Structure 1
Amino acid sequence: MKKSLLALAVLGAFAGAANAQTSVSIYGIADVGVKFDNGGSTAGRQWSLASGQQSGSRIGFRGTEDLGGGLSAVFTLENGFNIDDGTLGNGGRLFGRQAWVGLDSKALGSIKFGRQYSSVYNALLAIDPFGINMSGDAQAAYGYGIGKLDPIARSDNTITYATPNFGGFTALLGYKLGEQAGAFNAGSSKFVGLGYAAGPLNVQLAYQDTNALGLAVTGGLATVTNAIGLSAAGTGAVGAKVKNTFAGATYDFGVAKAHLAFGDTKLQGTADSTIRNYMLGVSAPIGADSVFASWNRVDLRDVANGKANQYAVGYSHPLSKRTNLYASVGYTRNDSGVRLNAATNGTSDRTALVGVRHAF
């Protein structure tokens, strides 16, 4: 009897040690507010209660298990939802924001498998003073809205390798499998990201080469859906090849931080098209509060009167370490050949939003 009790005690001790090396946490963001949009719909002005205006509302599970020797098993499952009506975000996916598992080594880097952020997304997020959200969202302007599409934003069926941090330098390599029988490259995407962040300087470079994104390219015009504000529908072949290049930097002067970026998007289909992006921004603390502003310019090089300019100012006020209030206003001016953020070509768009965000 005593031997049995001793054996159970030893097993319990081992189980407790193993459990202590495994960590799973639940986290999330609840973000909602009121939005006014004048120009985004042909029906006229619109007032709405909108979810995820500063940060996408989400709930996630992340975990790590110490495998010994500096190696860990890691995973993240992150759901996006709309807090205004309780529906799923990200096209109705259960874990539409992230869903991956992998191995992480402090000395060798990490390898991950699943739905992940692309190098272009990571670079935009690091440079945009609005954090690719609110009225100044650089992702909405990048590539004339293509920056919001998968796999430019998030990439399914993807294998990534991230290096350790070498004195501020990091690199990310990724490959998305197309999973089409008899055509290995069809539907695939490959990307690379390079970064340097040390002291006041942050520099981000990203490149992505994507097959069969689902764009139609004809007569120098690119078309996806009206939801991201591209030009009139095209009739060219669907399945364009897309090449994205992004370079950006921030420099923190203490009293304010400067933001600068350049993007080049090349579409190849029945006709080729080039889209250029330019961004200037600033962010600054005002006591505990913060203010930020940006100018995003979109230039469809193959479209007559194909330039759009997006201007925005934002403000954030913390109520605690986890909760803040925010507000932003934006104005988009379109040339007659384009309609960034607007319902029709040549229409200007004005937005204003206020909201509350809580992180847990």
Structure 2
Amino acid sequence: MKKAVCIALGLAAGAGAHAQTNVTIYGIADAAFVGENGSSAGHQTKITSGAASASRIGFRGKEDLGNGMSAFFTLETGAKIDTGELDAANTIFNRQAFVGIRTNAGAIAFGRQYTPYHLTLTSVADPFGTGYAGTAKNLFPDNGTNVRTSNTIMYTSPKVSGVHAELAYSAGEQTELSAGRQFGGALDYAQGALRVRLAYNNKNTDVAATGVNHDLGRNVLLGANYDFKWIKLYGAFEVDKGFNSATLGNANNPYGGVKPTPSTDGREILLGFSAPVGPGTLMFSTQRKDDRTHLNQDAREWGIGYLYALSRRTGLYAAYAHIHNKNGAGYTVANNTEPGSGNTGYNLGIRQTF
């Protein structure tokens, strides 16, 4: 009898453990020596956290609910390796904070999440993964709520023949339903060596309390890559239209003189590659901004970088980029966490994932 009770208790404990959420702690520690030049302030050097990938710590969990259904969550906060501070004041899980349900019909999540637009740049179109001095952020408007949004409902469909879709809606939570809201989506195809992704983003920046109204900001982005194993080719083309569709990464007029005006009608194009060279990876891209407003504030950029692998999780990196601005354009060489202050920049750093 006593033996049977022990067996029953053991089975119950095993069942309870199976029902518990499986939680993973993960993160990135990234720090670099950064140099910037070309602004009215002259040459600047500093230690920066997250030049290649934003430093962070996160908690990810999943619980199997049976019948093909599971619950999941992510809580992720950014940290400044150079100072030990949070990377955004008065927040805890400022990077991601969501909970959701996954079924055979797809997944739906609620909370603060990446936009389909940003996921297209970072995972498909940019060989730098929107990090390092060569990041697509230099000319593409990958900043602000184009990157992540709060109060968001995100649906991700199951993958069928290499195709899946994403739909996102972010509530403005104002007295007028449309004020401050943002929505978008993406259609993603991945088969063999080819991946193609088309994203759309629509942003309303009205403020109901003050009666401030603007036209809608819209982004359409097509990104693709093809992996030949010895080299991986990348490309992107984007169309921006409307107010706040293409805000400047650094809006503080770093070059002095007449303050540059964010484009409300523009095109961006990116071509690049990554290739295994020695024990690491060589990355390169070139970008062009075509401002179609009457200001014609165009820009050209190129960037190069190398990630030297010390292990599967740890690497040393070096990157350099330069921008040529025209007609008073104000684009700056950024990295993953900073908008940059000049038209030339370089990074020398170390990154470890866990």
| TM-score calculated relative to the size of structure 2 | 0.86
Q: In the alignment, does 2:151 pair up with 1:154? A: no
Contact 1:334/1:348 (8 A) holds in 2: no
Are 2:217 and 1:246 equivalent residues in the alignment? no
Corresponding residue number in structure 1 for 2:166: 172
Aligned pairs for 1:42-61 within 5 A: 42-61=40-59
Taking the TM superposition and a 5 Å limit, the aligned residue runs for 1:21-36 are: 21=19, 22-36=21-35
Amino acid in structure 1 at the alignment position of 2:35 = F
Equivalent runs, 1:170-209 vs 2, <5 Å:
170-181=164-175, 183-209=176-202
| Deviation larger for 304-313 or 44-53 | 304-313
8 Å CA contact 1:124, 1:139 repeated in 2: no
2:239 is matched by which residue type in structure 1? D
Relative to 1, partners in 2 of residues 1:287 and 1:166: Cα closer, same or farther, differing over 3 Å? farther
**CA distance in 2 between partners of 1:340 and 1:61 (Å):** 35
Give the conservation status (yes or no) of the 8 Å contact 1:24–1:64: yes
Superimposed CA distance per residue, residues 9-65 of structure 1 (whole angstroms, 9 cap, x where no aligned partner) = 6455323322234300100000001001002x4221111000101111000000000
Q: 2:87 aligns with which of 86, 89, 97?
A: 89
* Counterpart residue number, 1:330: 321
- Say yes or no: does 1:115 pair with 2:112: yes
Give the conservation status (yes or no) of the 8 Å contact 1:309–1:334. yes
- The size of the alignment, in residue pairs, is 325
Partner of 2:134: 136
- Alpha-carbon deviation of 1:332? 0.7
Tell me the residue number matched to 2:247: none
Deviation track 1:249-298 (CA, whole Å, cap 9, x = no partner) reads 111122211111101111149x9921211101111111431101001111
2:332 aligned with 1:341, yes or no?
A: yes
Alignment of structure 1 residues 5-44 onto 2, 5 Å = 10-11=8-9, 13-21=11-19, 22-39=21-38, 41-44=39-42
Equivalent residue in structure 1 for 2:157, among 156, 163, 166: 163
Q: CA RMSD in A?
A: 2.3
Contact (CA 8 Å) 2:321, 2:333: kept in 1 or not?
Answer: no
**Range 83-92 or range 308-317, more displaced:** 83-92
Partner of 2:241: 266
Contact in 2 for aligned 1:29/1:58 (Cα 8 Å): yes
Partner of 1:78: 76
**Aligned-partner residue type, residue 189 of structure 1:** Q
Which amino acid in the other structure matches residue 155 of structure 1?
Answer: T
Greater RCO (CA < 8 Å, at least 6 residues apart): 2
**Identical amino acids, percent of aligned pairs:** 40
CA distance 1:111–1:348, change in 2 (3 Å): closer
Please report the TM-score for the alignment, with normalisation by the length of structure 1: 0.85
Aligned in 2, Cα 1:140/1:96: closer, same or farther, shift over 3 Å?
Answer: farther
Could you tell me which runs of 5 or more consecutive residues in structure 1 were left unpaired when the two chains were aligned: 215-236
Change (3 A) 1:342 1:83: closer
